[in-house]
Amino acid sequence: MQTRPPAQYEQLAARVRAHCLRMTHRGKSGHVGSMLSMADLLAVLYSSILRVDPKQPDWPDRDRFILSKGHGGGAVYATLAELGFFPKDWLNTYYLDNGKLSGHISHHVPGVEFSTGSLGHGLPVAVGMALAARHAGKQHRIFCLMSDGDCNEGSTWEAMMFAAHHKFDNLIVVVDYNRVQALGKMEDVIEMEPFARKVEDFGWAVRTIDGHNCGQIEKTLSEVPFASNKPSWVLARTVKGKGVSWMENTVSCHYGSVNDEQLAKALKDLGANS
Amino acid sequence: MRSVFNEELLKIAHEDRRIFMILADIGYGEIEPFARAFPGRYFNVGVAEQNMTGVACGVALEGNIAITYSIANFPTLRCLEQIRNDVCYHNANVKIVIIGGGMAYGPLGISHHSTEDLAIMRALPNLVVVAPCDFAEARAATRAMIAHDGPVYYRCGYKKEPPIHRGPINFQFGQALTVQDGADATVIFTGTIGYNCLCAVEALAREGIHCRLISLHTVKPIDRAAIVQAARETGVIVTVEEHNSMGGLGGAVAEVLMDEGCLDVKCRRLALPDVNVSLVGGQDWLRQQYRLDPDAIADAVRQVVQ
């Protein structure tokens, strides 16, 4: 992996956030808050951690990255476009008729491993890929970025038990732990705390980090697996709507889209040119 | 039939190292030889069908063939969204095998019956839907399933299904097999209910009503040509299935007749009524209660022909 100054990640994350705001504004679509909360995680993952090649998206030895919170797919599209997996002008077609990019992440897009959209699907598939990689003696890793809502799903916990039982230490989960769900805050919907302890009790090696501190994200992800014979789990504390002051920690930024005036304000908050 | 399936799969797995079995704690007394022969390709995920299907999908997307396997509707309905979104949308090489199609698990009750599966599974793009009728078809369908590059739904019987085909068969997905020819009517069946159909057409033959008997083992892709030809040549189509009357074999055949303009054909669909089966009894007895026994099938054909 290549270590970078945190500012580089922050600049990429800011560009990703600006793309997401413009895409959801143009598409009059939702989920921008979920995209903004994971932008720093994606910036570090794609800049330094994941072994991927924009020129060969299907490179057999690539690390597999599955976004289980498929509703945040716009942020992955933006990151992939920034890295050169496909032309940036594709982003202008997000959510539009005959567009190249659907609202939920699609494997028909270069660089996207797997389509999701309904929660609780990503981890079981990632576990299957981890199983296959180990069976074949391959060295690539499998990363799965999940939301906290993803962890409401029973299928996620089924997969957690299976992965721990088989000691898949080539598997890394990152949870975008913004604690805001579709209909309310986690404390009012399904409280997951003590989250880290629950996951540890399921047999995973867990670290809790600040999901907006790029230096910390880089250091943590560069140290996987955290324990041999255990899958790794990064509980990344994040802020839903991060970077746009009036969106942060609001339930409304899950579904709401931004109008012209809000877009200008949001981009100003981010320090991007509208 | 489940033993035949497992024997055949074991043989193929010796030849094809891509085959994995991903189970959800079902298969006692049947899957042990595979588990012993290929411990690195055998995984029991525990009682967790959603994870079974997701893991199978991940394994398959890495260039393998993953088989999920369980009782009746366990590997389909509990994890239907995983089959739809993960397996079918990604065209993953996953084979979904159910044991005990229809009411094979009779007295265990509705939780162990699979009587809506054909309708639900055939509505999923990319999925081949196959229901072998006897051991010969079961073996051939196992080989065809592994040879097919993409997802397959395999509706297996349970045990002691009698033979229907009298000689060697040329089994291909999407190509119906004619068990016997006849000019007065055509009986089309899928799966193990075929034996009752055979008994019925043999009884009818003794009365001078000669039926064409077709095993439509592949419900999807459906053999349109065989259906149209039977309609045009015999003028009578009776479908028989151990499945709810909605959307299964009868519905699929009716769609073909409508699409192909075969509207002057006399038709009858024999299937389970649209009810939850709460009667308690073995498969043969339940079939009789729902008029899927040989006498009832023969009666229905007689009525349509006359």
- Chain A contact present for B302, CB below 8 A: no
CA pair distance B273, B251, nearest whole angstrom: 13
Q: Examine the domain organization and report whether B71 and B138 are in the same domain.
A: yes
Q: Sign of torsion, CA B98 B102 B105 B109?
A: positive
CB count in 10 Å sphere of residue A108? 11
> Is pLDDT of A273 > 60?
no
Q: Give pLDDT tens digits for A82-110.
A: 999 999 999 999 999 999 999 999 999 99
Output helix, strand, coil percentages for chain B, rounded to the nearest 5.
Answer: 40, 20, 35
Separation between Cα atoms, residue B163 and residue B165, nearest integer Å: 6
The Cα-based distances of A197 to A171, A204, A228, B30 in angstroms read: 19, 10, 19, 39
| B49-59 residue pLDDT tens | 999 999 999 99
- Regarding whether B149 and B6 lie in a shared domain, the answer is yes
Residue B115 lies in a domain: yes
pLDDT at A255: 84
Share of chain B above pLDDT 90, in %: 99
Chain B residue with the nearest C-alpha to that of A134: B40
Mean pLDDT within A126-136: 98
- Averaged pLDDT for residues B277-297: 97
Predicted confidence (pLDDT) per residue in B78-100, tens digit: 999 999 999 999 999 999 999 99
> What pLDDT score does A1 carry?
75
Longest CA pairwise span in chain A (Å): 54
Same-domain check for residues B146 and B195: no
Residues B132 and B6 occupy one common structural domain: yes
A207 CA to chain B: closest CA distance, Å?
24
Report the percentage of chain A scoring pLDDT > 70: 99
What is the per-residue pLDDT for A274? 44
What's the complex ipTM? 0.96
Upper half-sphere CA count for residue A87 (Cβ side, 13 Å):
5
Whole domain around residue B46: which residue ranges?
A: 2-156
With respect to residue B163, please indicate whether it lies within any of the assigned structural domains. Answer: no
Instruction: Clarify whether residues B151 and B7 are in a common domain.
Output: yes
User: What is the predicted pLDDT for the residue at B232?
Assistant: 97
Q: Which residue would you say has higher pLDDT here, A257 or B293? A: B293
Within a domain: B162: no
The Cα angle at residue A203 between residues A230 and A219, in degrees rounded to 5:
50
Task: Say yes or no: B10 and B49 in one domain.
Answer: yes
Tokens found for residue A73: 């797919």
CA distance A272 to A17: 9
Q: Where does a domain end: B156, B185, B207?
A: B156
Q: Which of A33, A125, A16 is nearest to A72 (CA)?
A: A33
From B93, B123, B156, the end of a domain falls on: B156
Amino acid symbol at B174: G
- Across the interface, do B45 and A118 touch by the CB < 8 Å criterion? no
- Average pLDDT of span B294-302: 98
Whether residue B150 is found in the same domain as residue B241:
no
In this structure, are B34 and B143 located in the same domain? yes
Spatial contact of B242 and B219, defined as CB atoms under 8 Å apart: no
Question: In the predicted model, is pLDDT for residue B182 greater than 80?
Answer: yes
Backbone angles phi, psi at B57, to 5 degrees: -65, -45
> What is the residue-averaged pLDDT of chain B?
97
Does the beta carbon of B192 lie under 8 angstroms from any beta carbon of chain A?
Answer: no
CA gap B97, B90 in Å, rounded: 19
Instruction: Kindly report the average pLDDT of chain A as a whole number.
Output: 96
Q: Are residues B76 and B185 in the same domain?
A: no
pLDDT confidence of residue A227: 97
User: Residue A153: closest CA among chain B residues belongs to which residue?
Assistant: B50
How far apart, in whole angstroms, are the C-alpha atoms of residue A37 and residue A250?
A: 12
Separation between Cα atoms, residue B56 and residue B96, nearest integer Å:
10
Predicted local distance difference test score (pLDDT) of residue A175: 98
One domain for residues B207 and B288? yes
How far is it, in rounded angstroms, from Cα B69 to Cα B101?
12
CB B154 within 8 A of CB B282: no
Same domain, B117 and B234: no
The pLDDT value recorded for residue B258 is 97
Q: What is the mean pLDDT of residues B275-302?
A: 97
pLDDT of residue A272: 64
The stretch A157-174 carries a mean pLDDT of 98
Q: What is the CATH number of the domain that holds B215?
A: 3.40.50.920
| Closest Cα in chain A to B19 | A132
Q: How far is A170 from chain B (nearest CA, A)?
A: 14
DSSP secondary structure code for residue A68 in this structure: S
The answer to whether residue B56 sits within a structural domain is: yes
Write the pLDDT tens digit of every residue in B230-271.
999 999 999 999 999 999 999 999 999 999 999 999 999 999
The answer as to whether B172 is a domain residue is no
Residue A93 has which token pair? 């077609």
Q: Considering its fold, how many domains does chain B have in total?
A: 2
Q: Are B201 and B246 within one domain?
A: yes
Q: Indicate the SS3 state at residue A55.
A: coil
What pLDDT was estimated at residue A2?
81
β-pairing, B211-215 with B177-180?
antiparallel
| CATH number for region A6-270 | 3.40.50.970
Q: What residues in A contact B48, CB-CB < 8 Å? A: 155, 158, 161-162
Please report where in the chains the tokens 């038709």 appear, as a residue. B267
**For A58, nearest residue in chain B (alpha carbons):** B62
| The predicted structure's pLDDT at residue A17 | 97
Closest partner CB to A162 (pick from B46, B57, B63): B46
Is B40 close to A136, i.e. CB distance below 8 A?
no
Cis peptide leading into residue B294 (ω within 30°): no
Element (H, E) at B8: helix B2-15
Residue B186 domain flag: yes
CB-side neighbour CA atoms (13 Å) of A33 = 23
pLDDT tens figures, A206-260: 999 999 999 999 999 999 999 999 999 999 999 999 999 999 999 888 788 899 9
